[in-house]
Amino acid sequence: MITSDTNRHPFLAGLSKHRGVPPTVMVIFGASGDLTKRKLVPAIYNLALDNLLPADFHLIGYGRSPMEDRAFQQLTVDAIEEFSRRPLDPEIWRIKDQAFYFSGGYGSVDAFKRLYERIKAVEQGLGRDVQLIFYISTPPTVFGDIIHALGESGMAHHNRDKGSLLSKVVIEKPFGRDLESAQELNRVIAGQFTEQQVYRIDHYLGKETVQDLLVQRFANAIFEPIWNREYVDHVQITVAESLGVGSRGGYYDESGALRDMIQNHTMQLLALTAMEPPVSLDPESIRDEKVKVLKAIQPLNLKAEYGDVIRARYGEGLINGEGVPGYMQEQGIPEDSTTETYAALRLFINNWRWKGVPFYMRSGKRLARRVSEIVVQFKRPPGILFSEGDRFNVAPNSMVLRIQPDEGVTVVINSKIPGLETRTQPVKMDFGYKTTFGSNTPEAYERLILDSMIGDSTLFIRGDETEASWRLITPILKHWEACQDTGLEDYVAGSWGPVAADRMLWEHQHEWRRSGS
């Protein structure tokens, strides 16, 4: 944070690279939670290291459990030492007078009013207006209570007559459990905040390679002309985890793979992959196009045979050579659970660009490896040349955008094998972030917290976008609820999922890429 010593670092003199950002007070609701320690505090610290925080920045942790200011300050230090991508510099993170803790109920208007008085005291001490950022990192059951209390206490309307100083609310996922709950939460938010003040966060959008997707598409003339149904055979989006549910079994069982990953992360990846070129890089122009493509997805066929949706859960198996239990043996899982740990969808987009091109999405736990990627597979050339005999190993061209863990882009082309005989084989043209730019790239939360402070909503989700996504997903959830465990497949931990998911692609003469290979 800020100290009186201005010689060691330009940030200490208040010379932020974003000089237009006013003094900021950030309140983190759920300040003692795991996300705050693992992601939020390290992100704020790294912004300070990079001289990207406003000149006067104050952090307030809010939670239901009592905690002394000094204990909260030590919590931030411990979080940085354990989870930051760069080591702690005590000269930068001097927080005695700029980090506080406030305890109270999440729906207590009286507690929020007392919090507001504390914030006003900070503002008065600075002698300048401050912008307020409320980061909601709590269980979703109290989202509405917090929003209501922010409005009733007056904090939601702080400096409302000063457009550049509007208070902002950052809301973590999950944003609703279905279409109805998402619509209700949007109504609650709209009662206290304008859409301009709301930042619905999906940390996947803060990842460098997700942002690079737009650059690859729209800044390279070799890609955009063939990014359509004339040249693209199909698209695969994979978000896979090798971990199981661990100690989060009780929470996960209330969610499942469809809610936990497909509805948000993978749908965002699909929207960025399939959207039309925006008229500008203005946040609303980009978000307009994402909403359009989500609305163009045709309703899914939910029939068990030749349907567009597969669900499954993992059984016992091997991960990295070690035996792991099945989902039903994990701690906190009810005996009658029908929750899926794997979901795969086949989608079709009814617009001019993508008519007839299948988009396959899959996400699951206890899969063969941790990997997130987008594969755009192009159509094969006409079988006239290089198509006869065993000499010609010709694969379809593809573009693989690796989101994690090995961030980069791979393009698969066909090449001649050196020698007197004409033989071919597929080869990879590979670009890796680590080898080109170094490995210490900013974390997603650094970008997203910074964007919320400067008022850039490009990488955040708009209210109508959440509803468009839930409008597609909710019928699946209702269908599965009615079916109970009928149609719930099994797969071995350490595999790539159920055979039924492979079969869904075989129906169109496609097969899943061996992700991460």
Annotated catalytic sites, by residue?
A: 265
d(CA 48, CA 370): 31
Residues 6+ apart with CB under 8 A from 425: 393, 414, 415, 417
Tokens of 475: 């019928």
Question: What DSSP character marks residue 427?
Answer: E
Contact partners, residue 456, CB within 8 Å, separation at least 6: 283
Side chain identity at 122, as an amino acid letter?
V
Token pair recorded at residue 327: 């989902």
Closest among 98, 152, 91, 143 to 125, alpha carbons compared: 98
Residue found under tokens 């989101």: 403
DSSP type of residue 223: T
Report which of 347, 342, 357, 363 is spatially closest to residue 238, judged by C-alpha positions: 363
Closest residue by Cα to residue 500 from 342, 275, 367, 373: 342
**Sequential DSSP letters for 481-507:** HHHTTTTEEEEEETBS--HHHHHHHHT
Contacts of 437 (CB under 8 A, 6+ apart): none
Beta strands 131-136 and 24-29, pairing class: parallel
Return the C-alpha torsion angle 151, 101, 206, 512, nearest 10.
-100
Rounded CA-CA distance 512/237 in Å is 10
CA distance 480 to 486: 8
Which of 196, 167, 183, 377 lies closest to 284, judged by CA?
196
Q: How far from the centroid of its chain's Cα atoms is residue 251's Cα?
A: 19
Count other C-beta atoms under 10 Å from residue 211's C-beta: 15
The Cα–Cα gap between 465 and 287 comes to 8
Residue 371, beta-bridge partner list: 240
The pair phi, psi for residue 263, each rounded to 5°, is -60, -30
Q: Which residues of 238-269 are buried (b: 16+ CB within 10 A; e: fewer)?
A: bbbbbebbeeebeebbebbbbbbbbbbbbbbb
Rounded to the nearest 10 degrees, how much is the dihedral formed by the CA atoms of 402, 404, 408, 409?
A: 0
**What angle, rounded to 10 degrees, do the helices at 267-274 and 283-295 form?**
100
